[in-house]
């Protein structure tokens, strides 16, 4: 709706608030409202912080989706979650997840078949940009460490790399919770940004799968496959650089790198063992998960 500006004094301009909105929010003369400036817009709210959100969820016999169900409540911005369970294993899964990923959440109460989880700290999404960058750095960390461990054929190192996933999960969940809670980021569009975070978390998961499989089976890869894994780590770094300094020419170069890596990977499939093919299928998944984000990336910046 359009509103005319009203001159007050020599330099002040005011605008009236819609009567319906004032009435619905029970506002009166002297009440305080919050005004935030963002990208040429002024946002007016009756309160600075979002309303407390609560949900009840039943995870009885929900395995193997328990962690995903509980994780969804955190990412979508709920502050209080009452969880119904039916077994010790379900309860343990909830407790483990809260400890690993729910920053600021604590278990408030537990009885025979219910556990109450609550956010006891005020969400501070002002750290969003720092956390997002740390998420990218964790991704590059697991990719480079995997390449080094594969090169050295160090299976203990590979197994240790799987634990990096938990850092990535925590950072990704924080960013998604911020977006779902309405935090205004510095990026043009948050919907494609959410997709990028979601997909890159899956990239970390596939690196974890690669490390687990290679370490468990003590797979010694040939030099050509090792070279592809090293190039894949460099590809991840190129995507990181493109994300933080977007340029069309760099996007084109990323596309050419992807084609070259794909050709090398496809060529290695022919004379490989079953275990090597398993590794290369994970490499292929990582490569394409990352490259397919070129669309959301352009939507964020263009």
Residue-wise pLDDT tens for the chain (302 aa)?
677 888 876 677 888 888 888 887 788 888 888 777 766 677 777 765 556 789 999 999 999 999 999 989 988 889 899 999 999 999 999 998 888 878 788 888 888 899 999 887 767 788 899 999 999 999 999 999 999 999 999 999 999 999 999 889 989 999 999 999 888 888 888 999 999 999 999 999 999 999 999 999 999 999 999 999 999 999 999 999 999 999 999 999 999 999 999 999 999 988 889 999 999 999 999 999 999 999 999 999 98
Spatial distance between the Cα atoms of 108 and 94, rounded to a whole number of angstroms:
13
Q: What is the CATH number of domain 125-301?
A: 1.20.58.220
Spatial distance between the Cα atoms of 15 and 36, rounded to a whole number of angstroms:
15
Q: Which CATH number fits domain 54-119: 2.60.40, 2.40.160, 3.30.110, 3.30.1330?
A: 3.30.110
Spelled out in words, what is the top-level CATH class assigned to the domain 6-45? Answer: mainly beta
Sketch the domain layout of the chain as residue ranges.
6-45, 54-119, 125-301
DSSP 220-283: ---HHHHHHHHHHHHHHHHHHHHHHS--HHHHHHHHHHHHHHHHHHHHHTTT--HHHHHHHHHH
Determine the 3-state secondary structure of 61 from DSSP.
Answer: coil
Question: What pLDDT was estimated at residue 10?
Answer: 67
């Amino acid at each position: 709706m359009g509103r005319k500006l009203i001159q007050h004094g020599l330099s002040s301009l005011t605008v009236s608030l819609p009567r319906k909105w004032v009435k619905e929010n029970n506002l009166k003369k002297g009440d305080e409202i919050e005004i935030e400036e963002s990208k040429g817009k002024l946002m007016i709210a009756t309160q600075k912080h979002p309303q407390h959100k609560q949900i009840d969820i039943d995870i009885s016999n929900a395995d193997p989706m328990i962690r995903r169900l509980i994780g969804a409540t955190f990412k979508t911005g709920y502050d209080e979650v009452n969880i119904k369970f039916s077994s010790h294993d379900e309860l343990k899964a909830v407790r483990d997840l809260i400890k690993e990923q729910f920053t600021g959440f604590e278990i408030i109460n537990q009885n025979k078949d219910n556990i109450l989880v609550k956010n006891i700290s005020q969400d501070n999404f002002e750290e969003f940009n720092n956390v997002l960058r740390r998420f990218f750095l964790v991704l590059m960390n697991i990719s480079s460490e995997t390449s080094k461990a594969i090169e050295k054929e160090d299976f203990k190192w590979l197994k240790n790399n799987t634990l990096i996933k938990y850092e990535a999960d925590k950072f990704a969940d924080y960013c998604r919770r911020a977006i779902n809670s309405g935090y205004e980021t510095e990026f043009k569009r948050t919907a494609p940004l959410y997709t990028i975070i979601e997909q890159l978390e899956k990239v970390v998961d596939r690196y974890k799968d690669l490390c687990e499989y290679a370490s468990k089976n003590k797979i010694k890869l040939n030099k050509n496959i090792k070279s592809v894994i090293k190039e894949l780590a460099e590809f991840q770094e190129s995507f990181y650089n493109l994300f933080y300094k977007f340029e069309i020419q760099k996007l084109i170069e990323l596309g050419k790198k992807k084609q070259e890596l794909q050709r090398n990977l496809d060529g290695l499939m022919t004379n490989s063992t079953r275990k090597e093919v398993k590794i290369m299928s994970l490499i292929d998944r990582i490569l394409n998960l990352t490259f397919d984000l070129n669309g959301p990336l352009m939507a964020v910046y263009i």
